[in-house]
């Protein structure tokens, strides 16, 4: 759906309104994550947060692919070497996971 495509474009451009991005726009609230007290950023929410780590570990085990280290890796060569049909399914699933 278009709303997921737009969201993924925002993730790729790293403009999701996380607390670190809000602070760059002179927001005066806390930049800490409400759930784990780490600095909230796109990388933290989608890769480093404990639940996100468990989800990525599940993706790694299920498809035997390299775990993600950066958001840019998601949009780069992360799935090189995997056949195109499987890659398509993994990308759709990952986009749905991130959006949810």
pLDDT, tens digit, for every residue of 4-16?
Answer: 889 999 998 999 9
CA distance 83 to 76: 15
Range of the domain at 61: 2-99
Q: How many domains does the chain have?
A: 1
Supply the mean pLDDT for the chain: 88
In this model, does residue 63 exceed pLDDT 90?
no
Find residue 56's DSSP bridge partners.
none
Reported pTM: 0.79
């Amino acid at each position: 759906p278009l709303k997921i495509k737009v969201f993924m474009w925002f993730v790729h451009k790293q403009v999701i309104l996380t607390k670190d991005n809000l602070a760059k726009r002179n927001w005066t609230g806390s930049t800490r994550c409400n759930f784990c007290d780490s600095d909230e950023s796109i990388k933290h929410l989608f890769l480093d947060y404990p639940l996100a780590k468990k989800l990525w570990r599940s993706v790694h085990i299920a498809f035997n692919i390299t775990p993600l280290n950066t958001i840019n890796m998601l949009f780069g060569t992360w799935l090189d070497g995997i056949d195109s049909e499987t890659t398509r399914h993994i990308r759709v699933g990952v986009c749905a996971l991130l959006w949810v």
